[in-house]
Amino acid sequence: MTPVEAVDAGAILEIRDLRLHFPIKAGLLKKTVAYVKAVDGVSFSVYPGETVGLVGESGSGKTTIGRCIVRLYKPTTGYIGFRTSEGVSDIANLDKRELQPIRRDIQMLFQDPNSSLNARMRVGDIIAEPLEIHAIGTADERRSRVEDLLEHVGLGAEMYNRYPHQLSGGQRQRVGVARALSIEPRLVICDEPVSALDVSVQAQVLNLLADLQEELGLTYVFIAHDLSVVEYISDRVMVMYLGKLMETAPTRKIFERPAHPYTEALLNSIPKRVRGGHRKRFVLTGDIPSPVNPPSGCVFHTRCQYAKDICKTESPPLMPLPDDPDTSVACHLVDELSLSPYYTSEERAGMETNRA
């Protein structure tokens, strides 16, 4: 493993060759018999003020990456450079004490607001806890800060003394947002923040996240499996499969010009209404293979309709497209394939005129 240095000067977060292999232990002596390769060689950068969407099926490793960034997991190998005013630190290799100041800058918003809030704590105390941990302000200052936050996320200061069970799902997720923002982080990892919410409430929380980003200049890594949600909120999208990145591109290009067969398959499995009826979805056969024993060569070849012999033996690297450096793809056949988009640029123009 060669050490890497920060090269991407503009990035707030730069991840290089990140790997997390969970050992599987068995037998009396708990010998390690195999590894789950949850994240297997992922590199990308995140720039200040943008939202990067991380999509993939369950088991693709998207949540694991999020948890490595906040260091709920320690990566097996790799580099996670985070830029602060004092320079760049490699989060992947810091110890607990060194991490403490950085944790102020990176916060996480969890999927299930029912289980991520302590049922025995009052709403106000839940939101104030990060402030206490980082010893910010006096008790009075903390209280007024929490009341401001409650107003800010649309709950109202009178919620201070309520318990989580007295709130609805959407209100609980707003508490989660307020807690994540209490110590003014710069980067927020949103792990499926709306997938447990009802449709009408989901839209409210998405709008809240977008407003707060604009107002506070936040950077989001947005993990989700729902592509229509990702399209709505992200500037760039990264598509993951079995612990590897398949494609990264600006959001619009992902939908207009997918470059990886897996991206195409995901787009084709989104429900879509065309000409007064729902289209028939293309069905990707089979399940995602086990990350304990991933397929040889390109990990997607077992489900790829275009797979050739080379795909079974050699793993394709993630490379920028020659004519479009914003898009990077890990596919041997990238020059030969012409993949079907979610919409053509004319259709897209049509959608935009319709609403005007």
Partner 1 sequence: MDIVLEVNNLKTYFYIEQGVVRAVDGVSFTLEAGKTLGIVGESGCGKSVTSRTIMRLLSPSLARIVDGSIKYYPAGSPPIELTQVDPYGDQIRDIRGNEIAMIFQEPMTSLNPVYTIGQQIMEAILLHQDVSKEVARARAIEVLRLVGIPLPDQRVDQYPHEFSGGMRQRAMIAMALSCNPRILIADEPTTALDVTIEAQILELIQQIQHDNDMALIMITHDLNVIGEVADHVIVMYLGQVVESAPVDDIFDEPKHPYTQGLLNSLPMIGRGERLEPITGSVPGPHERPRGCPFAPRCPHVMDRCRAENPPSFTLSPASEVACWLYAEEIEVGP
| Residues at the interface with partner 1 (CB under 8 A) | 57-58, 168-171, 198-204, 206-207, 210, 225-229, 231-232, 255, 265-266, 269-273, 276-278, 281-285, 287-288, 342-343, 347-348, 351-352, 355
How far apart CA 288 and CA 300 sit, in angstroms, is: 9
- For the sheet with 324-329, list strands across it: 106-109, 187-191, 219-223, 51-55, 236-241, 244-250, 324-329, 319-321
Which has the closest alpha carbon to 153: 123, 178, 129? 178
Q: Least distance in Å: CB of 73 to partner 1?
A: 22
Query: What would the two tokens of residue 189 be?
Result: 């990892």
CA dihedral 142, 144, 147, 151 (to 10 degrees): -120
CB 201 within 8 A of CB 31: no
Cβ closest to partner 1, residue 221 vs residue 265: 265
| Residue 297 Cβ vs partner 1, minimum distance, rounded to whole Å | 21
Tell me, what amino acid is at 174?
R
Task: Please identify, using beta-carbon distances, which residue of 127 and 167 lies nearer to partner 1.
Answer: 167
In the complex with partner 1, the residue whose CB is nearer, 232 or 306, is 232
Closer residue to partner 1, CB minimum distance, 161 or 207: 207
- Of 92 and 209, the one with the shorter C-beta distance to partner 1 is 209
Least separation, in Å, of the C-beta of 225 and partner 1? 6
Nearest approach in angstroms of CB 181 to partner 1 is: 20
Closest CA to 230 of 212, 201, 209: 209
Name the minimum Å distance from CB 170 to partner 1. Answer: 5
